[in-house]
Amino acid sequence: MPRSSTRLTFAVLATGAGVFSMLQSLIAPALPTVQHALHTSQSTATWVMTAYLLSASVFTPILGRVGDLMGKKRTLVAVLVAVLAGCLLAALAPNIGVLIVARIVQGIGGALFPLSFGIIRDEFAPAEVSGSISNLSAVIAAGGGVGMVAAGPIVSALDYRWLFWIPVAVVAATVLIALRYVPESPRRSEGRVNWAGAVLLSGWLVALLLPLSQAGRWGWGSPRVIGLFALAAVVCALWLRSEARSASPLIDLRVMRLPAVWTTNLAALLFGAGMYAIWSFLPGFVQTPGSAGYGFGASVTASGLLMLPMLVAMFLSGVLGGRLEPRVGAKALLTAGAALGALALGFLTLWHDTRWQVALVAGVFGLGIGLAFASMANLVVGSVPPEQTGAATGMNANIRTIGGSVGAAVTGVLVTGRLQPSGLPYASGYTHAFALLALLCLGAALAALLVPVKRTAGLLGSPRATGTPTQAPVRVR
């Protein structure tokens, strides 16, 4: 495959990862429409989101590791086909049960993130890797923003099923191009898939994320929530023991203990809490009628447009981060991104009375997301052995998701813990939540400062570019 085709390879990876990221947020604004169209309850409709979250959390690290072992292109194409099948099934779903199953199938696409990072590391020239990872991270971040902005107009002009028909066409074309033009990575990790570890990993992730997503309805003190948290702790301990003893671990715990990896993962956990909570609750804030003492009574479409500055800023700062990383280092970008998130949320806590203030906050927070996404991926990829790229980046994405679940759950408690006679939350619920999220982003910035400043074993040069698989040093600063 000629070197010039790396642009086409990148286009395939960016399209697949961008569509999956968009699917994360695209359906959320349309849940009331889905609930009405499929004649179901609100609590049942929320499983459209929960099933997707749980599926992605399970498949992201497992299939990232499968790609390391069995071939990244082969696994990438299989995952794209699964996303295609999930979108097609969702578009045709006759009832809520089928739609939930379709969302589980779509969740397999979470593995597109680690597989894409691994293919870039294997196939691109060393000088291109950092910038390409930053650009891909920008697309991933912006994909979530596209979902928030586009959902309202698509549902209003067409139908909620077109939220899935459009990805069907895009992913089908992507599969065909990937089969033809994406090369199979020449490097494979030795060993086999530790299926016992995969089952245990899946078990504790589901046992942890399920109560976090459902505690608002089940009650934080309910036996189901407490029991699942306890089960998550026990199964996680069993998983750690299994991985430590395995000759071919699913997730190499020695890699997870590398200073640059665990500090980046800690920052991902804290920043993810702030990011996903804002994505979940800021649209609801602006849609609240002014009679509640806050909010603007915005429609779904109008609230999506208020998020447009975030979308634009995420993409631009992610691309800019790729240009700045060789000069200032990924550590500085991660610190700056988390600090911008804290600044935006602090501003939102104090000033949220006009639409321009919310739009400004969205833009500043978007700048932080773009910088943080790009730098986190580069820090992890630049710190782990090539054969662990998929598993390590998959776990980083998962940890960010876990943080998002925690942030959304805690924000939900603060916002809905005390309601007005009208049933709407008090303004103080939102302001307390925004203040807490600002502190979490500040914590992410402090965690980023712990990332060691040193030269690490770096990215493998592409054999197609260099002729031999040599290592090039990568700066983690």
3-state secondary structure 210-251: HHHHHHHHHCCCCHHHHHHHHHHHHHHHHHHHHHHHCCCCCC
Residues in CB range of 90: below 8 A, 6 or more apart: 99, 102, 103, 106, 161, 164
Q: Average pLDDT, stretch 399-417?
A: 84
**pLDDT range class, residue 467, cuts 50, 70, 90:** very low
Query: Strand pairing partners for 454?
Result: 476
Domain ranges of the chain: 3-193+248-476, 194-247
In order of 176, 331, 467, the CA distances from 339 in angstroms are 41, 12, 42
Q: What's the chain's Rg over C-alpha atoms?
A: 21
Report the distance separating Cα 81 and Cα 172, nearest Å. 8
- Residue 296 CA to residue 274 CA, distance in Å, equals 23
Phi/psi for 475 (5° steps) reads -85, 125
Taking the C-alpha atoms of residue 47 and residue 69, their distance in angstroms, rounded to an integer, is: 33
Proportion of the chain above pLDDT 90, given as a percent = 32
Residue whose structure tokens are 């099923």: 161
How crowded is residue 22: how many other Cβ atoms within 10 Å of its Cβ?
A: 26
pLDDT, residue 472, reads 39
> Given this model, what pLDDT does residue 461 score?
39
Spatial separation of the C-alpha atoms in residues 24 and 106, rounded to whole Å = 10
More reliable by pLDDT, 338 or 32:
338
Q: What is the pLDDT of residue 298?
A: 85
Q: What is the pLDDT of residue 432?
A: 93
Which backbone phi and psi does 208 adopt, to 5 degrees?
A: -85, -45
CA distance 277 to 194: 34
The three-point CA angle 5-464-468 to 5° equals 165
Structure tokens at 373: 């996404």
Question: Cα(299)–Cα(51) distance, rounded to whole angstroms?
Answer: 26
Cα-to-chain-centroid distance, residue 414: 23
Element housing 455 (H / E): strand 454-456
Predicted confidence at residue 191, as pLDDT, reads 67
- Helix count and strand count (H, E) for the chain: 20, 2
Average pLDDT value for the chain: 85
Q: Does domain 3-193+248-476 have CATH number 1.20.1250.20?
A: yes
Is 405 or 466 the better-scoring residue by pLDDT? Answer: 405
**Interatomic CA distance for residues 114 and 91, integer angstroms:** 27
pLDDT value at position 462?
A: 39
Model pLDDT, residue 62: 86
Listed in sequence order, the residues at least 6 apart from 356 whose beta carbon sits closer than 8 Å to its beta carbon are: none
Mean pLDDT value across residues 114-122: 88
The pLDDT assigned to 388 comes to: 79
Instruction: Please give the Cα distance from 399 to 286 (Å, whole number).
Output: 29
The pLDDT value given to residue 343: 96
Buried b or exposed e, range 31-60, using 16+ CB within 10 angstroms: bebbbeebebeeeebbbbbbbbbbbbbbbb
- Per-residue model confidence as pLDDT tens digits over 435-447: 999 999 999 999 9
Lowest mean pLDDT among 99-103, 136-140, 189-193, 265-269: 189-193
Three-state SS for 467? Answer: coil
Helix residue ranges, H only, 223-329: 223-245, 253-256, 259-287, 300-306, 308-328
- Residue 77's pLDDT is 94
Question: For residue range 215-267, what is the model confidence (pLDDT) as tens digits?
Answer: 777 888 899 999 999 999 999 999 999 888 887 787 888 888 899 999 999 99
For residue 103, the Cα-to-chain-centroid distance in whole angstroms is 16
d(CA 145, CA 309): 9
Residue 196: pLDDT above 70?
Answer: yes
Q: Which residue has the tokens 């009628």?
A: 289
Judge contact between 374 and 448, C-beta under 8 A: no
User: What confidence category does residue 475 fall into, taking pLDDT thresholds of 50, 70 and 90?
Assistant: very low
Task: Assign 346 a pLDDT band (cuts: 50, 70, 90).
Answer: very high
Two tokens at 224?
Answer: 């189901």
CA 402 to chain centre: 10
- What tens digit of pLDDT does each residue of 49-58 get? 888 888 888 8
CB 107 within 8 A of CB 62: no
Distance CA 12, CA 95 (A): 32
Q: What span, in angstroms and rounded, lies between the C-alpha atoms of 1 and 354?
A: 54
Q: What is the token pair recorded at 388?
A: 């662990």
Provide the pLDDT confidence category of residue 468 given band limits of 50, 70 and 90. very low
Phi, psi for 425 (deg, rounded to 5): -65, 155
Q: How confident is the model at residue 417 (pLDDT cuts 50, 70, 90)?
A: confident
pLDDT digit string, tens, across residues 72-83: 889 999 999 999
Q: How far apart are CA 393 and CA 405, in angstroms?
A: 19
Q: What is the pLDDT of residues 132-149, one digit of tens each?
A: 888 888 888 788 778 878
